[in-house]
Chain A
Amino acid sequence: MKRTFDTGNAAITEAAIRAGCTLFAGYPITPATEIAENMSRRLPQVGGYYLQAEDENAALHICNGGSIGGLKAMTATSGPGFILFADAFGWAVSSEVPVVIVNSQRVGPVSGITGAPGQGEFYLSRYLTHGGNFETIVLAPSSVQEAYRLTVRAFYLAERFRTPVIVLADQMVTDGWETLELPETDAEFHAMGLDVVPRRVHPGPEFYPATDDIDVPPVVLGHNTGAACSDWTPTDRGHDTEDITWQHKHAWRLIHKILNHRDLIDEADEWFLDDDPEVILVAYGTPSRVVQKTVKAARHEGLPVGGIRPISLWPFQDHLFSRKAIYLVVELNWDGQLVREVQRAAVDGSSVHFWGRCGELPTSGELLEVINKLLKYEPLERDGWRTEKW
């Protein structure tokens, strides 16, 4: 194991290389620029291709094009570029093309502040394209080491599910410096629970089977298999069709190939839940680091507090919220996004509360204050714009 001190950007780069990525197309954007820079240095060393696209829309389309040629591809961006992926993301979802997308979230809306972390794309990552009738796989790292692990996972899941996988990080994860352990041998790599699925080539002719099967090889052009892929609703052979029956088969497959194999995707950390604590804090990404520390501090004070950190965000893990409790959802936004899903998923009799921070992390101190109020059933409402309303 090679022990280094590095950024999440570097971790993501090394993970992509280890997973077999040979194509990166991107557009410079803070705070994800360093991923592009690192890829421009590392890819040629392993015989891969780095391209600077004319915009993010082109970046993901170039990745899609490389992927249907058989290359493993990745792009990385932040919010203003992420929104431009809509077109290409939809194409990859519907054509069932493996590709990995990293979003280092910064505070918004729109361009916002380049150097401050945000969590504004929780829903956008689920619905990064139009038309509905699909499921999305989204993974959220909270540390440099985990950025490595989840990027490798993203490539693994993309190949097995034939779909784009999003690594939803934030500015503190990608810019932050931490200890990073890089496996040097296959044994070390596998010991981390990681694996690589090599690109396979679908032999045809049924490129789009009407099943919920995973491990269907992707459509790869250039092998004269009669491969056909497009943005249109496909027949099993990939022909465009206006037949509603094929539409139903296609939509069913896009949804259920993911929902029916959730055991491969679902991942979460749970802290101090064994004694069914009264209050459960919920967060993903960097704020979850503060939450974890706060839960420990609260336990030290004897408070009945636990914590949940969804690691895979989508499909949403409703089952995590089956304990009747007072949930406190902590996010890096003021409008409340994750909290809406928790509110929907929380078992009857629970109450769900929100603590949002805009462009900056909460402190353990303030979270402990909030916990104490919740334990006394006191309202969280504060002055003016600082209310719990979401």
Chain B
Amino acid sequence: MIAYAWLVPLLPLVAYIFLLALGRRAPEGVVSSVSVALTFVSFLLSAAVFVAVGSHPEAATSYVFHWLTLGSRSLDVGFSVTHLNALMLLVVTLVSTLVLLFSREYMRGDERFAVFYQYLNLFVFSMLALVISPNLLQLYIFWEMVGLCSYLLVGFWYFKPEAAAAAKKSFVVTRIGDAGLLAGIILLFLASGSFDDSTIFAKVAGHSLSLGWISGQALTTLAAILVFVGAIGKSAQFPLHVWLPDAMEGPTPVSALIHAATMVAAGVYLVARLFPLFAASPAALTTVAWIGGVTALLAALIALTQRDIKRVIAYSTISQLGYMMLALGVGAYAYGVFHLMTHAFFKALLFLAAGSVIHAVHTQDLFEMGGLGRRMPITMWTFLAGALALAGVVPFAGFWSKDDILNATLQTGHPVLFVFALVAAFCTAFYIFRVFFLTFTGEPRPAAQLQHTEWSEAGEGGPVMQVPLVVLAVLATVAGFFNSPLNGYGLERYLFADAPTGAGVLGRTFPENVGLMAVSVVVSLLGIGLAAAMYWRPVIRPASLANGLRLLYVVSYRKFFLDEIYGAAVVGTGRFLAALVNAVDRYVIAVIVRAVGRIFYAAGLFLKYTQTGQIQTYGVVAGCGLLIVVVIAIFRAGGVL
């Protein structure tokens, strides 16, 4: 079975090519049916691969083919199945199938319906190909390909200026990270002679990673941090997180699939996949942990005050990805991956439920919603499941994975990061239930009723939209048991089978801490309680609280002014340099060129007087010249010169 794993990414590629051949006017039913069917088969295959790898770990291996010769080195492409990859294949195909199904209804009637499905299929293919890449070069290739799909889908409604700007921003900001990643894998290639993970790990383990200009340990740290820069860009970690909220300009199914469940998790996947490299450098691990912890807190603080439902969930994604990085950074490999999995389910659910709401009421402003629970019960209950999972309430999925991360952070001796994570957990519970109460409870806002005539018809989408919501809600509820004590930590055992060189390289497990579990649940419930007190049964008036904490409110609402700071510092500097170079080009170099031209011209003006046309003059000049030559020749012959 494992030898056929290449079929998993191939089927979405087939779907893409098929849709491309059908053209942009293909009937919606055909387009969506083919896409969903092929991706679903991919999912079934992934499940088979997942089981096969679990039962025959020794069969997990790479299959490569020659791609390009570089001097004496051969660069290969192919595919590779490990336990981590098998898990990722399963998660990606599952969420993809559901989102493709959901989009059937959500995108109905869009004039570029077929194009939307083309892009989605291309994305699914690229993401799956990224996951089963046998080496870092191929991984980088598809790493950029998923970025391209993200660019195309964020800018799907290209005629909206905000969408066009957001698409460019997402590509350029992640490209900054990609440049780091490229440098990192090139250094690893130069130092180890291969792009192949296992070769690199062997060299790292043997301390034989070396280049002439840098010591082995410093090189390990440098390469790991450069790779991590790529992960910062892709996984929207501070300070490169600014593109993800803007990316919400894309259609909501895209936000669910690409900007929550799969692509943005690729950065976490990358760090997990190269964990043996990071583990060899304490400095790199510390960097990962701190970036993750800071991001988790920062994004959670921003999410507290946003008015746009999708932006709240987007900042929530950034924050949760921060948790995953934190887990990897403190050495809890399995927990980072575990949280990646649970998050994929409950965050896709939250986005799709939000999509269902937006589909019904045609607004994204939380303060124009309200009272939707009565009209959309399925959306409300499934959203609630997702919110409870995100908030980390027992026994929903997010509880198990987040508690593991808090536990590991504390036990590895990172008290500051632990506090960050705990505060972020409180904020998380608050902001997601703020969304829940504002959207589904209370009365419809008067302003909304006036502005949106469709309001009275707002209701559930068809079954095509409800099935994915229900499936994901079930997963958001139960997926946590996969790695709970009740299941004997099944996921950890599964993942640790990848350990390349003996136990310990993939981090360790941490004994359960029941007291901490209680604390984390209490913190979550406090957050939910505060949200309820403000937005459900208003005991505390939000406006007066915002006024009371004016400064903090503004800082959070304006996202710590990071967009403005970057706009001035980075973009401003770039534009200034561009203008400077252009000015130099136009007013310095061009002027010099013209001056040189004038010298030649002036020389011509002067020299033209030598062209008198008088034979006598020419004769005299020529005679003088000949005389000089002869004199020199005589002197030379005589040995004088």
A and B held together in a complex:
no
- B interface residues, Cβ below 8 angstroms from A: none
